[in-house]
Each structure stands twice: as C-alpha cells, then as structure tokens.
Amino acid sequence: MSGARRAVVLLSGGMDSAVVLAHLSAEGFECHALSFDYGQRHRVELIRAAEVALQLRAASHRTALIDLRAFGASALTADIAVPKDRDVEHAHDIPITYVPARNTIFLAHALAMAESIGARDIGIGVNAIDYSGYPDCRPEFIEAFERMANLATRAGTEATERGERWMRVHTPLLMLSKADIVRRGRVLGIDLSRTISCYDPTPAGDACGHCDACQLRERGFRDAG
Amino acid sequence: MSGARRAVVLLSGGMDSAVVLAHLSAEGFECHALSFDYGQRHRVELIRAAEVALQLRAASHRTALIDLRAFGASALTADIAVPKDRDVEHAHDIPITYVPARNTIFLAHALAMAESIGARDIGIGVNAIDYSGYPDCRPEFIEAFERMANLATRAGTEATERGERWMRVHTPLLMLSKADIVRRGRVLGIDLSRTISCYDPTPAGDACGHCDACQLRERGFRDAG
C-alpha cells in the first residue's frame, strides 16, 4: 500500500475516462477504477476497460453489476436503434442514447466506494464541449452532486464539522474539445487505439463509425492531426 | 392506466416506508414501489416489502439488484456484528450499521425509474427525529439531492427551461417521532404487524428486539399506546 491519496475513477473503456485515469495518476493519486455492467449493448467496452486499467497501472479495478435495463428507455440499454450519422455538431436535443440518471447512479456508487476505501476524490470523464447534449455532463450537475455528496456521507459530515471539504469530483476534460482530449492522451502516453467509444459496436468489438460517439471521436482525432 | 400523477416510493419492508406509501396513495398518487436487494443480512424484509406493496395496492413493485457488498464496511452488509442494546436515545455517533452512501444510491435508482415512467415525485421514509444518526436521513441531504436531480435529468432540464420545478422528494415522516409514525400508520389503516424493522432478524424472520431499529420501533409502539 502506497502513501498516496486515493481516488476512485469511473472507467468506461472509452477514450475520455482513460485520459482521466492517466491524468489523476500523473497528479499523484493512487487510482481505483470502477466500471459498470448495466446491460449496455456495447458491453465489449468492459473488456477494454480492464485492458486500460492494466495499461495505466490502476491500483485496482472493479466492475459492479447494476440493473439499469429495468428502468431505461434508452437506445444504449433497450431494444431501440442507435441513431447513425446525426449532425452532432448542430444537434441541440438530448438524444435517445440518453440513459435516465446514469451519471447520478454511477457517481453514487463511486461515492460509496470512495467512502469505503478512504478516498475523497472521484474522477469522471464528462465533457461539456464535444458531447451529445446529456444533462448529467454539465458543470452545474457536477457541482450539485459534489454538494450533495458532502452531506450524504459519514466522512463528508465529519469533514464538514472540522471545517474541511471532503469530496471532490474531478472533471479534467470538462472544458476540453475532443481534439484536446486526444492531445492530452498522447502527452500522457496512453495507447488510445485500445479504447472504444462506439455506442453500437460489432460483436467482434469494432466501432460502427456512424453513431454520435464515433463521429465525435473521429473528429477529435482528425482535428488533433 | 389511471390518470393519477405517478410517484416512485422506496419500500424497504419496514414500518416507515409502508406509511410513506400509504400516505402518498392517500394524497392521490399512483404509487410505484421500488425495493433493493443489496446483500442486506435482513433480506427477509424484501418479502415483507412485497406483502406491503400488495396490501397497500401499489400500482407496481420492482426489486432491483445492486451490489453494495463490494463497497461496504457496514454491519448491515458485511460480516460485522449488529450492535445490540445501544442507548439509542443518547447516542450521537454514526453507528456501524451505516451503509456508505446508501440513500444516495437508492434515490439515484428511484430517479432513473421516475424519469422512465414519467413520474416527478419520489417518496422516502427518512426521519430526522427518532433515527440512528445517519447523515443521509437529514433534510439538508434531501434538499441537496432534489437540487441535483433537477439538473441530472432530461425531464428536469426541460422543466427548468419552462420555469417549472420537476422532481420533488417527499419525506412525510421527516419530522415525526416514531410514535407519530405508528399513529399515522393506524389512521391510514395499515396492518403494521406485517412490517419488519429489525437489522438482524432470525432466519424465520422474527425481530431480534435489541438492535437500534427494534428499540426505536418498540418505543414508538409503546409511546403511541
């Protein structure tokens, strides 16, 4: 066990969360990765998440099973087609790939794990620039979650009594473009070719190239040269 | 399908959440009950929850499986003894039965279900008077969760754009004593004998009579006559 400060990092197997993990490791955190099997059609990302955790030398990696299919009317979890070739640059609606309250549920589990292992930092790869319009990727959501987290827990309550701030949610990609994320990943020495961002990959794990996530990723790599 | 406004009610099988379900039904809500199998040692409560949902004519009842044992160092989920015969009236610490971020996780799942079924109301039986000192039972936690929920979701975002408030977390027991809860349950015509509050019941489902929850329940019945 190192003496480093621990952080829980939400790791999806995609590019963004891999960069978050490398970023927090570079900042000196002992990173504990957390992935979710929530019945997503792109479950191949869980294998990639495990590879990323190993590549980036996470201190631990855990995949928690949660049952979002029971709730969700989302193209990511239900039998609804993933939209292809949308004009992501000019779309302003929240797409059908939105999973109700997904980041709230993920962060709530990360919060429980953080308190259990004595971490007071959580990393999440949300992005408010090149994103699909999900409400739970906005800075005001993250701030509201942080505030709630400090009231929700024993550790948060005890820290507040000492006049300290307990939980911090790190969002190092929040204001970066996809191209900036690609560049940051390169600087941190990540092999991004092993990450997968696609919402609707083939059974063999190949990206479809047409969903919002593929389009945003491709544009990021193009813009980053 | 009735035209009534829908609510998601967190239902544990205990007395408090049964009273919340009956209360919101009496207020005219079409109540959809949600329970959790989270590896709790008092899992017999899930059977009681199903009985309560039937008795109180919930519109639906769902038990979601979530894996809190992976995180928790709590006497409710891990192999730690449940404290007996504590002086609950004068104890001010947060006891070992505290499960990290439990209500946050429960409410996050309720939020997802609410958005999926078109509900904008959640009911939870938290209580800030006769309780065991859990931080996630306090009004300031509930308010922070509500605020976050309105930012976390598509429905909340759209309502906010229209200048409306979307999600409301109902806590009708928040400021009641256990005796008041018993009285409220009687007025609402609930058969409280089928609820179970014990943290450490026998395999047959009988209450231990000595844990915090048993002590608080017993005092409530005694005070209510």
* Model ipTM value: 0.82
B101: which chain A residues are within 8 Å (Cβ-Cβ)? 108-109, 111-112, 115, 149, 152-153
| CB burial readout B88-104, b (16+ within 10 A) else e | beeeeebbebbbbbbbb
Least confident of A206-210, B20-24, B159-163, B200-204: B200-204
CB contact A139 to B (< 8 Å)? no
pLDDT at A77: 62
Nearest CA in chain B to A154: B135
Q: Which of A101, A112, A140 sits opposite B153 (nearest CB)?
A: A101
CB contact under 8 A, A98 and B154: yes
- Averaged pLDDT of chain B: 85
CB contact under 8 A, B116 and A73: yes
Q: Which of A97, A90, A110, A96 minimizes the C-alpha distance to A32?
A: A110
pLDDT at A1: 46
Instruction: Tell me the nearest-neighbour CA distance from A36 into chain B, angstroms.
Output: 11
Residue B3's Cβ-count burial label (10 Å; 0-12, 13-18, 19+) is exposed
* Residue reference for tokens 């038990």: B63
Mean pLDDT confidence for A110-132: 88
CB contact under 8 A, A113 and B64: no
pLDDT at A189: 93
Domain boundaries, chain B: 6-223
3-state secondary structure labels for all residues of A7-56: EEEECCCCHHHHHHHHHHHHCCCEEEEEEEECCCCCCHHHHHHHHHHHHC
CA A42, CA A77: separation in Å to the nearest integer? 9
pLDDT at A195: 87
Segment B61-70, tens digit of pLDDT:
999 888 776 6
A181: pLDDT strictly greater than 70: yes
CB contact A80 to B (< 8 Å)? no
CB contact under 8 A, B73 and A116: yes
CB contact under 8 A, A157 and B64: no
Segment B145-195, tens digit of pLDDT:
999 999 998 888 888 889 888 899 999 999 999 899 999 999 999 998 888
Contacts of B145 (CB under 8 A, 6+ apart): A148, A152, B104, B107, B169
A4: pLDDT strictly greater than 80: yes
CB contact under 8 A, B156 and A135: yes
A193: pLDDT strictly greater than 90: no
- Regarding the domain delimited by B6-223, which CATH topology (the fold level of the hierarchy) does it fall under? Rossmann fold (3.40.50)
Q: What percent of chain A has pLDDT over 70?
A: 85
pLDDT at A10: 97
pTM for the whole structure: 0.85
CA B122, CA A177: separation in Å to the nearest integer? 37
B96: pLDDT strictly greater than 80: no
Segment B2-38, tens digit of pLDDT:
578 999 999 998 999 999 999 999 999 999 999 998 8
Mean pLDDT confidence for B185-210: 86
CB contact B101 to A (< 8 Å)? yes
CB contact under 8 A, B112 and A71: yes
